[in-house]
Each structure stands twice: as structure tokens, then as C-alpha cells.
Structure 1
Amino acid sequence: MLKIAIIGGGYVGLVSAACFAEFGVSVMVAETDPARLDRLRRGEIPIYEPGLDPLVERNRAAGRLGFTGRIEEAIAGAEAVFIAVGTPSRRGGGHADLSYVFAAAEQVLAALDHPTVLVTKSTVPVGTGRRLAALAAARRPELAIDVASNPEFLREGSAIGDFMRPDRVVVGAETERAREVLRALYRPLNLIETPILITGLETAELIKYAANAFLAMKVTFINEMADLCEAVGADVHGVARGMGLDRRIGAKFLHPGPGFGGSCFPKDTLALARIAQDARAPSRLTEAVVAVNDARKAGLGRRVLDAAGGSVRGMRVAVLGLAFKPETDDMRDSPAIPLIEALADDGADIIAYDPAAMAAAKPLLPAAVRYAETAEAAIEGAAVLVAVTEWNEFRALAPAWLAARMQGRLIVDLRNIFDPAAIRAAGFVYHGVGRGSVSQLAANPEFEQDFEQDREFSDG
């Protein structure tokens, strides 16, 4: 049985560890945060990810997955050591902070007593693998340590499926041993004929940034088209459908909304822009994506205020959804944060609900915000309803039911989860995103149906 170590029991490390163990690999996770480690050892999963709890438990029970606070224990006999620690944006510049990566590498190199493959799973700037190889040669010249890059492409809320049934696996490896070890780890994917792309270190590192920036660009582009649709009376769903039917474009990530957030798109687009600037090959498109998305999120409060006639002072505003997208509790760069701050600054009485993210949201939102235990409780007596995250349970809220419970008649739907015609028929003033005209939807209801079928969580 192959044995590997994963340094870091956060989102990427924990999902990767559980999925590799499901492949039949022996995996030991090193986690230095005592509180997180204690929870993992007790069988508690510290992140919200559908399907992860039973996957971890099944592989722990089978003896293929373990957790330790000691690097030495984790890497003992490991044929590959994956670094899966955070690479947040550095304050003031947007460059990726690699301090955790190199701290982990130093600990691994100090404790190693056998040859191995050192693999970056974290998203790291171009050139990081080369620096790690130089560090390994300097620290442990007596050991044969190969360095490889194996970027992750995991969407929060869909991470297990993304790992077990990926579009592709990218491996940056320049020695035969590194290539052989990583091919062996991913051998179970041969059954579903998953492409495994073997490249050099720099190419693999850049693929992750380029892919995320391109997807973020699609999100940002359709948001700009949504603004244009509102101005000219078109409907963005029809525009997105018409674009997506072109196989060269595709329907994925053409879903208008309040702007992207989360752990990947914001930091990766900003990091790619900085990498390109430092290399004197600036990516103006990426820079524009960052600027347009930031402006969109900053303007969300004004969108609601304008819909309410200029102010929501003293009004009860129900906010449905806080996480940056459904099926996660991640609040990083969530559009809900600037939106709620703007509403609170205007004097709104805000009551919020999210199925998973309220505990994570409370430290990030104004103290005056109240939290409901259910969507129904949040809506009761509200003058304004603002939909921020497209959790499926919100789609089931019937217009007549809403009308019977809300005091006001204003709905601002930042995810287009409601049927405009049905909501308006129930007596509401409805403001969606990019829905300048509902006549197209009335004449072509398949637009709405196809749009929902093609929808993926479009924020990374």
C-alpha cells in the first residue's frame, strides 16, 4: 500500500487526504493547530463540505487515514509528502504569502530520514517549486528529494466529486521517480479515463492560476452583461443561454450575481496579476477582473437602497444567505459582507439566515445584525427581502407564502432564484440581476429551465 503524508488539515488537505485514502492509499495528516487536531481525532470535521464526514469516518475506521501533531510521525516511510497549507494574500500587495509553505517545508526537511517526493498541493506562485528544490538540496544534500507540483481544482461544496471524478489531474514533475509516484497515486482514475497532464514545475503552477482567472473572467463578464441587460431591456438569462450554446464558450460560470468570493478566485486573480506584473508581462484582463468584481461587491448596498427608494432606515431587512456560495460555510470575501455593512450603515434592522455559515459570519458582520434559526423566521414581518446565496431551500419559498408573511413588498434577488413573473403576480416589486425584461421569459420558459440545469456554483 502506498503511504503519503499531507501537511495541513485544512480544506484542501483534509479533502485530499480523505479522497486519497478512499483510493486505498495510507494517509497521515499532520495538523499543527491543537484545537483542530483535537477535533479531527475525535471524529469531528471542522469544515462544512457535503459528504466529507462519512468519507473521513469510513477511512479512519479502515485504518487508511490518521491524524497527528508531529511532522516526524506523519512523514515516516512516506513515499510522497504533500504540502497543503494556506497561501493567503499578503496585506498591501496581493502577492501570495508563502510563509506557511516554506515553514512546512523546513519542518519536513529537518525530520526526513529517507528519500521522498515533496509535492505542493497548495496554490503557489510560479517559481515556488524551483525554490523548494533548491531548499531541499541545501538542507538535505545527502537525501534524494524530488519536488513536484500537483495543484488542486476543488470547488467548495463539490470538492469530493471534483477529486474523485476530475476533469484532469495536473502534475508538474521533472524526474521519473516523481512522475511514477504521482501516477501510482492517481491510478484509480484510469478506470474513468481521467487525463493526467504531466508538465514542468512552472507550467503546473501557472495552470491553476490561469484556470481560476479565466473562470473568474467569465463570471465578471456575465455580470457586466447583466448590467447592460438592465439598461437596454434585455434578459441576461437569454444572453447567457445564447452564449453558452456555443461549444467554444460553454454554459458554465455564466451566471449573473453579486460578484465572486471565496477562498480561490479573489486571491488567485490578485496573485496572478502580481505575478504577471513582477514578470513584466502584465495581465490587464486579470487586473480588470479584480477591479470590476471589487466594484460590484462595493455597490451591492446601493443597489438595495435604490430599490427601496433611497434608504432602508428603520426597515426590517431579511437577508437570505451569507456564505459566498451554497453548500459551504466559507465567508471569505463573501458579497454578503459589504452588502450588510452598507445596509447597517443606513440604519436597517437586519435579520439574516444561512443554513451553514452563521457561526462563521458573526465575527465578520456588524454587531447589530440579528440571526434567525430558519429562513421562515427571518422573513416573518420583513419589509425587504434580499437573496444573496442560492441555497436550494430558498428556491422553494412560494410567492403567496412570502406575501402572507412579509409586511413589505420588495424583493431584491441578487442570485435570480425567484421567478419574476410569479413574484410580481403575488404583488411584489421585484429586482433581479440582468432581468431588464420578463417578456422573453414569458415567451420562452425554456430559458429559465435550461439556465437552472446548466447552473453550477459559479464562485470558485
Structure 2
Amino acid sequence: MRIAMIGTGYVGLVSGACFSEFGVHVTCMDKDKGKIDQLLRGEIPIYEPGLDDLVAKNVKAGRLTFTLDLAEAMKGADAVFIAVGTPTRRGDGHADLTYVYAAAEEIAANLDGYTVVVNKSTVPVGTGREVEAIIRKARPDAEFDVASNPEFLREGAAIGDFMRPDRVVIGAESERARDTMRRLYRPLHLIETPIVMTNRETAELTKYAANAFLATKITFINEIADLCEKVGADVHDVAKGIGLDGRIGKKFLHPGPGYGGSCFPKDTLALVRTAQQHEAPVRIVETVVDINDKRKKSMTSRIVAACEGSLAGKTVAVLGVTFKPNTDDMRDAPSLDIVPALQAAGAHVRAFDPAGMHEAAKLLPGVDWRADAYQTLEGADCVAILTEWNEFRALDLNRCKALLKRPAMVDLRNIYNPAEMAAAGFLYSSIGRGSAPAGRQAG
């Protein structure tokens, strides 16, 4: 089989590489000449563990190619995937479908024989119908179907998620389109991956509903963490106690500074706007969006408290700025709220991130970027952990304490044990577990 993938961003590049690993001939197309030039040189424009090797392997095998020419990409293709950005539209919170509709118009101009046009981008309910109308208006004689095939990829684990997914969701209106999609996903069918075959609207809504539910779990445990601090409970034990219930599950019950990234913030907001538009408001999701926005902004107060109530003239060491580990993605990262607030309060901010500093430097002016964690801590009044990269989980605490001007740590990801930090002489605070004064065992 042959497919074309429009867009070489996170979803398009990962999906294209993984389909080629299945034995499909994939041509990835993008209008960004810089990206295509990078890919043709064997350079990967995004950070995703294992993606460089996967791309190199399939390029060498002749199954994966890159081009700026959509006509070339679509030549002989059984399906063409739309994997372009759908950012939040300025002003009203709806998903901006400009790139999706532009792709539909260009697909119409290049259709040659029966083709399934697949929306891989996250799009509101009804977008598939709009894409079909755009193509049909331009090419009333063309043979095509429009399908929805939402992605469920976690940044940092995307290849595994594609190759061994919990499920594949396909929304298609004709048996011919369903058959094409089944053949594409045959390797997953052979390993008994559940494949949910439904209509387009259901597939489109499934993606939003899934992300909204996960965002709700994160927000729920964050609020429970705040309550734990007030009543002397441990949020991790609470999370374990409820997560062992099969009806709830243990995933996405880790407290922190609020969710970020390329999906949850924009998708929850887009779902809220879609629901309002159809006069079926989703009040729970509306509350989740509001709470999460306020939570990211409120984290600064914890760092101020660790610095004895004032940041004026003080240096704060920040470890991790990406929204999660194993990615260089800065979209809606809590650091984008926290770092500017620290600076506005008078702090000098030093920071280190294993993968995100190049992108973060464009978004966080005035930050003193350092080469590693220990350089970042040297002479700082406080250290704040914003992203739970593995290399931050086993820092040499004695060395950290010697480097810091004052042994204060604000751990917004709860990667250390309060009792151990107190025993090591740190003024340590975390989420949902209270604070442990230096030199005293926490109970």
C-alpha cells in the first residue's frame, strides 16, 4: 500500500515513520522547506526517543520519503492523511481549522483515482463533513471518501503507542473506506489490537472526550493534593488507594503544577466551545480548564514561600522547562507561567532542561541557561523542579546542598521523599505531602 502524509510535525512524522515500519510506502509532505531539507539530510526536527533510528531505517529501506510536492506525494496513494496543526483560534477558543481546510483544497486538486482522505489531526465534530464538502465542490467527479482516524500518541512514548496501542479508532462512512483502513492497520489487527470502527462524528468526538477525561483526572488529583496538605494526608497514598479500583485506574493520578502540552489545553477548550455551540455545555470540562489555568499561575507562591517570602534579588534554579520529560515540547508548559512570574517578582532565574532549552530560549527571555543541573544550582537561593526528567531523580544531594546558597527545594513533581530530604538537611516542599523542615524526619 501507499499513503501520503501531509504535515511532518509530531503526529505526521511519527505516524508516517510507523506506517512505513508496517511495510507501507509513505511519502511525507510539508510546505516548510527547512523541515524537509532537515529530513532529507537525516536530521529529525523534533525530539522523540527512537524516532531518528526508525526514520533512518525506513528511509534506507525505501519505504519512507519526504517532499515539498503534494502531487508527488499523492501519486498512486491509497490514502492521504491530513496531519497538520489545529491550534486554539485567537479570541474564541475554537480549534483553528485553517490548515486542515487548506490541505483539503490541495488534495482536491491532486486526486487521481479512488483515495481515502483521512483526518489524523485533532478536529471538532463535523470537520470530516466539511472536508468532504470542500473536496466535492472542487472535484464533483472525483472518487474519494473522507475518514477520521484520531491519534492517541503520548509525547516521549509515541512509537510504542503507535505500534502497540490500546485501540485504534476509525470513523468511515463506506465499506470501501473501511476496507482500506483495515488493510493499513492489518499488522495491529494481527496482534489483536481492538479496532473501533464507527462513523466520523463518533471518532472525532472520541478523541476530545478521551483527552478531556484524562485532563479531568489530573485536575481532580491536583485538587485532592491541595486538600491533603490542609488535613495532613499523603496524596500518593490516596492516589494508590483509589487507583487500585479497576473502575478508576492508577494512571494520570500524579499531582503536579497542572497539565500542559500540545493536546490537553487546546482540546479541552475546543470541546467546551463545541459543546456551547451545540447548546450541550460540558460543565465539568469548563471547570477543569479554569482550575488548570489558575493552578499553573499559583505555583509561584510556593517558590516565594521557600525563599522566605520574597524573591527580590534572589536566584532561583529551575530544573526542567518542557511540559513533560522525554520531549522538547514547550506548548502550554507550566514553566511558561511560572518563570515569568518569578522574574516579575524580582528573581534571577537560571535553568536547565535536557532537551527543551533551544525552544524555551525563544519563549523565556532573560533566563540564564546552564549546561547541566549542578551548574544551575551553584549559588542559588532555591531550586525548583518543574519537569520530572529521569536525570533529576538521582541528584547527588550532598553536592546540591553544597552548591546552593540555601538548601531549599520546591519539588513540583514529587520525585523525592520528604523524610529523606529532611534528613539530608533540605528545606523541602512538594505537592500534597506537606513540607518537611530541614534536619527533622517527616512523619
Q: Same fold (TM over 0.5)?
A: yes
Partner Cα distance (1:239, 1:73) in 2: 55
State how far apart, in whole Å, the 1-side matches of 2:138 and 2:351 are.
52
For residues 437 and 387 of structure 1, the distance between their equivalents in structure 2, rounded to whole angstroms, comes to 15
Give the one of 351, 375, 387 matched to 1:389.
387
Within the candidate set 426, 430, 433, 1:432 is matched to 430
TM-score (norm 1): 0.94
Other-structure match for 1:217: 216
The aligned residue for residue 400 of structure 2 is 402
Matches within 5 A, 1:36-435: 36-367=35-366, 369-435=367-433
Partners of 1:25 and 1:113 in 2: CA distance: 19
- Higher deviation after alignment, 300-309 or 251-260: 300-309
Name the amino acid aligned to 1:407.
K
SS at match of 1:286: helix
Where has structure 1 moved over 3 Å in runs of 4 or more? none
Distance in 2 between the 1:70 and 1:354 partners? 36
Q: Is the 8 A contact 1:344 1:366 kept in 2?
A: no
One-letter code of the match for 1:431?
S
CA RMSD between the two structures = 1.2
Q: Is the 8 A contact 1:6 1:13 kept in 2?
A: yes
The CA distance in 2 between the partners of 1:89 and 1:348, in whole Å, is 31
For residues 413-443 of structure 1, give each alpha carbon's deviation from its aligned partner in whole angstroms, at most 9, with x where no partner exists.
Answer: 00001111111111111110000378xx978
- SS of 1:306's partner is helix
Does the CA contact (< 8 Å) of 1:233 and 1:437 recur in 2? Answer: no
User: Retained in 1: the 8 A contact 2:306–2:382?
Assistant: no
Between stretches 313-322 and 161-170, larger displacement belongs to 313-322
- Per the normalisation by structure 2, the TM-score is 0.97
C-alpha separation between the residues in 2 aligned to 1:249 and 1:45? 38
Instruction: Give the percent of matched residue pairs that are identical in Structure 1 and Structure 2.
Output: 62
**In structure 2, the residue corresponding to 1:297 is in which secondary structure?**
helix
Per-residue deviation, 1:366:
2.8
SS of residue paired to 1:288: helix
Contact in 1 for aligned 2:2/2:24 (Cα 8 Å): yes
Indicate the SS of the match to 1:266: helix
Q: C-alpha displacement at 1:327, in angstroms?
A: 0.2
Match of 1:5, SS state, is: strand
Q: Residue deviations 1:280-301, cap 9 Å, x none?
A: 0000001000000000011111
Counterpart in 2 of 1:456?
Answer: none
> Aligned to 1:118, what secondary structure does the other structure show?
strand
- Comparing 353-362 with 132-141, greater Cα deviation is found at 132-141
What is the rounded CA distance, in whole Å, between the counterparts of 2:420 and 2:346 in structure 1?
30
**1:158-208 deviations in Å (ceiling 9; x for gaps):** 000000000000000110111001100110012321000000000000000
1:5 matched to 2:8 = no
Aligned to 2:33: 34
Letter in 2 for 1:426: A
Greater alpha carbon shift after TM alignment, 334-343 vs 203-212:
334-343
Q: Distance in 1 between matches of 2:257 and 2:102?
A: 36
Counterpart amino acid of residue 380 in structure 1: E
CA contact (8 A) 1:234 1:437 kept: no
Letter in 2 for 1:270: L
Moved more, 32-41 or 204-213: 32-41
Q: Distance in 1 between matches of 2:239 and 2:282?
A: 25
How has the CA–CA distance of structure 1 residues 315 and 330 changed in structure 2, closer, same or farther, with 3 Å as cutoff?
same
For residues 255 and 269 of structure 1, what CA distance do their matches in structure 2 show?
19
Post-superposition CA distance 1:26-82 (Å, at most 9, x none): 000111001111101111000000000000000000000000000100000100000
* Displacement after TM superposition at 1:401 (Å): 2.5
Please say if residues 25 and 64 of structure 1, whose CA atoms lie closer than 8 Å, have aligned partners that are also in contact.
yes
> What amino acid does structure 2 have at the position aligned with 1:61?
K
Q: Is the 8 A contact 1:232 1:436 kept in 2?
A: no
Distance 2:75 2:276 in 1: 41
Is residue 3 of structure 2 the alignment partner of residue 15 of structure 1? no
1:136 CA drift (Å): 2.1
Q: For 1:235 and 1:399, locate their aligned partners in 2 and report how far apart those are by CA, in whole Å.
A: 23
Letter of the aligned partner of 1:324 in structure 2? F
Q: What is the rounded CA distance, in whole Å, between the counterparts of 1:93 and 1:168 in structure 2?
A: 32
Q: Can you give the 5+ residue segments of structure 1 that lack an aligned partner in the other structure?
A: 444-460
Question: Higher relative CO (CA 8 A, sep ≥ 6), structure 1 or 2?
Answer: 1
Task: Name the aligned partner's letter for residue 416 of structure 1.
Answer: N
Q: How many angstroms does 1:13 deviate by?
A: 0.2
Larger mean CA deviation between 422-431 and 65-74 belongs to 422-431
TM-aligned CA deviation for residue 350 of structure 1: 1.1
Supply the distance in 1 between the matched residues of 2:101 and 2:365 (Cα, whole angstroms).
36
Contact 2:36 2:67 in 1 (8 A): yes
Q: Which amino acid aligns with 2:251?
A: K
Counterpart residue identity of residue 22, structure 1: E
Secondary structure of the equivalent of 1:81?
strand
- Does the CA contact (< 8 Å) of 1:235 and 1:437 recur in 2? no
AA paired with 1:281? A
